[in-house]
Amino acid sequence: MSTKTPDLTAAYGLKTPDDNRKLYAEWAGDYDDGFAAREDYQLPMHTARAFVAAGGQGPVLDVGAGTGLCGAVLSGFGVGPLDATDISAEMLAQAMRKDIYRDAIEADLNLGIPVPRDSYSGVVSSGTFTHGHLGPEVLHALLRVARPGAQFAISINAAHFVEKGFDFALRRMAQGQIENLKLPQVRIYGDLAAGPHKDDMAYIALFEKS
């Protein structure tokens, strides 16, 4: 188990894939009971509920699945089968212990996801686009593995939404690649959170692949 206390400042400072791997390898063992519980991390629940409310169904790819917090909510709603993908092997190992995923796929989104085209009827992502280290260019890798009509629920930190170009990218994708785009806002953390990020907001990009 990790002896490192999860630190949001470190997470928001991630710059490279190797930074990501190192930080989450250290956090994996106590991520759920440490960070998620202490910061009242609500984003996985909001993302899963938005996906289900939009009519999303399996098979679903949980992108940046981490320890499986979003997948656990989806599983509780009866959504499946679920596959998890993440850059961190250690986080995926924790996710697989929840016995909710069919498969675990270690992947760097910058390099694509090693699964066949049109594999999934749904794609969710909670927290992957929270810290600003990934931009909208990787959304095309997610579209590739989704079937036509697939439902997406992708959380994006509101602070990075315009700055990193997600607004422009989604508007451009809406001209033929995606449809029914909606952008509800939710709080990332709950009332128990403290610190400089406690009031952070996220958009949940809900859309379907054309």
Give 148-183 pLDDT, tens digit per residue.
999 999 999 999 999 999 999 999 999 999 999 999
- Give the CA distances from residue 69 to residues 16, 41, 55, 169, in Å, rounded to whole numbers and listed in that order: 23, 10, 20, 27
In a domain, 109, yes or no: yes
In a domain, 72, yes or no: yes
The answer to whether residues 188 and 130 touch, using CB atoms and an 8 Å cutoff, is yes
In a domain, 3, yes or no: no
pTM attached to this predicted model? 0.85
Structural domain span for residue 50: 8-209
In a domain, 176, yes or no: yes
**How far apart are the C-alpha atoms of 43 and 127, rounded to whole Å?**
7
Domains identified in the chain, total number? 1
CA angle 193, 195, 198 (to 5 degrees): 45
In a domain, 164, yes or no: yes
In a domain, 171, yes or no: yes
In a domain, 105, yes or no: yes
CATH number of 141's domain: 3.40.50.150
Reference 11, options 139, 195, 185, 161; nearest CA is 195
In a domain, 149, yes or no: yes
Give 19-49 pLDDT, tens digit per residue.
555 555 544 445 554 555 566 889 999 999 9
The answer to whether residues 35 and 189 touch, using CB atoms and an 8 Å cutoff, is no
